[in-house]
Structure 1
């Protein structure tokens, strides 16, 4: 079984990274700097906490970081509603960004559930976590190439 060796290969990290990129594009010209900074920081928090958690030493630390990432995804969604309500976003952009944020939340929640279902610790945790990540890659329609790159599976 192929294992995920890097957080960059996690589907939830890729989705969170895409959300962050889209948030920066959508609010790049926003004159409300306080609002813009807050939604950008919240989106960066999702990506950063996934990475920090993956690199942490224990399952419990990883789960804790993932809960923070999930909370940040909720914060982004709340701010998207505000942005739409005060006409910072059109409805199409709102729907697209909100869908990405919801998908991040679902992926993170699924990963937390699977991590908590396992009883491993230490090096076994690291190995099992990477195996779990590889399984989630496959379930989400991605494959790992021999060079280690993860790409979307084409039928």
Structure 2
């Protein structure tokens, strides 16, 4: 098993970053009027996930790291809500919604497991 030297080695961070890219891709097609609404909120919540994983990893104590992971987990819940709303407004296709929610569910499970291990 490979030693984790920095946050870039964490699979949970890599998946979080991939989720950001997916969110940016699907929100490109949203109406212009949503640019400062749902688009901005979804992108901000998505970016918050790997950002908090990275920041927490570089903290001195596990208790601090755990707190940042909880923030990332909260951002997952926030993003899930935004995805559901976007789906209800027909801004996302069923396939896009399912793909986003599946990746988000996987990310949330990985975060919970990491929190338990700390």
Greater Rg, structure 1 or structure 2?
1
Instruction: Please name the residue that 2:12 is paired with.
Output: 12
Q: Deviations over 1:78-133 (max 9, x none)?
A: 11000100000000000000111111100000000011xxxxxxxxxxxxxxxxxx
Residue in structure 1 matched with residue 22 of structure 2 by the alignment: 22
For structure 2, list consecutive stretches of 5 or more residues without a partner in the other structure: none
| Aligned-residue offset at 1:9 | 1.1
1:24 CA displacement: 0.2
Runs of at least 4 residues off by over 3 Å: none
How many pairs were matched up? 115
- 5+ residue gaps in structure 1? 116-155
Q: In the alignment, which residue of structure 1 is the partner of 2:68?
A: 65
**Paired residue for 1:139?**
none
* 1:2, distance to aligned residue in structure 2 (A): 3.5
Q: Which has the higher helix share?
A: 2
Following the alignment from structure 1 to structure 2, what is the Cα–Cα distance between the partners of residues 60 and 37? Answer: 30
For 1:79-98, list aligned pairs within 5 A.
79-98=82-101
Distance 2:103 2:27 in 1: 16
Structure 1 length normalisation: TM-score?
0.72
Deviation, structure 1 residue 29: 3.1
TM-score under structure 2 length normalisation: 0.94
After TM superposition, give the deviation of residue 6 of structure 1 in Å. Answer: 1.2
- What's the C-alpha RMSD, in Å, of the aligned pairs? 0.9
Equivalent residues in 2 for 1:85-124 (5 A)? 85-115=88-118
Residue 53 of structure 1 corresponds to 56
Per the TM alignment, residue 25 of structure 1 is displaced from its structure 2 partner at its CA by 0.4
